[in-house]
Amino acid sequence: MVASGSSKQWLRRHVSDAFVRQARDAGLRSRAAFKLKEIQGKHRILRPGQVVVDCGAAPGGWTQVATGLVQAPRRGFVVAIDLLPLDPPVKQAMCLQQDFTLPASQDRIRSLVRQYHVLRDEEAKERRLARQQKRNAAKPSSPASNEVIEASEPEPQPAPSRPDEVTAETVEKPAHAVSTRPVDVVLSDMAPSFSGNKSLDRLRTVGLAESALDFAVPLLRPGGHFCCKILQGPEADELRTRMRSLFENVFYEKPKSSRTESAEGFLVGVGFRVPGEPGTTRSTPREAEEADLVAVAEHEGSQ
């Protein structure tokens, strides 16, 4: 099959693109990773320990960035969901090949997050036990007291390495109830196959963003965040209006890594307000920075 003139032009531009080269050199799956990095630099929607869902995640560039920023899987948890497979999977994320618009997908994600929290609780218990044993070993104690310590020591249980490996045998009861709104951030960099009809392409892109927002609304925690791709045009106005009713602040971003000639942009919703409930207040950048420092200190202290 002979490539058309426009295809050849796109290929030449792609090969010479600076962000494509940088992505390849950094081991990133797509140049789109830099767009999320720029958005993060301005709005800090991703932080260590968060639960994130990347809708339409393939090929996985945004998933790679998200797992690094939330420190998954050690501290945070990222679900990458797409009808297409992430091949190879992003090892630090839970990769699901299914339709995120189906209610069953939401139920699956809630289940995974619950298991993730159970696993985190079990690991925290093990770390506390190890620290206690270390302190006990450092103390001078009588033989009698040693016998008591040894007798009271619980038999160690192996912790499953991933949330989907948690079974009835390893977890009998959840350590705490997980909210029905367990997700901190929903991301969507989805775009349709472009037809060349600008109005139709804008409409289809907004349709994908709308479906991601529909997915996010029942899952986002109060104060959570949402980011989606759009094409500039009147078709996005209704989506922007809807987001303003759901978030404390809504921003439009055109990252420098987006091609200049592209109509691509991103809507960023910050500070989710649960419909029908009192609004939530967004953390200030200073408060977010302090929260990050506390989280890092807690993480280092648990090692």
Provide the annotated active-site residues: 229
d(CA 87, CA 246): 34
The sheet with strand 77-82 has its strands ordered as 94-97, 77-82, 51-55, 183-188, 220-231, 264-272, 247-253
Q: What letter does residue 165 receive in the DSSP assignment?
A: G
- Backbone torsions φ then ψ of 288, nearest 5 degrees: -65, -40
d(CA 78, CA 54): 7
| Exposure string over 92-121, b if 16+ CB within 10 A, otherwise e | bbbbbeeebeeeebbebbbebbbbbbbbbe
CA 235 to chain centre: 27
d(CA 270, CA 257): 22
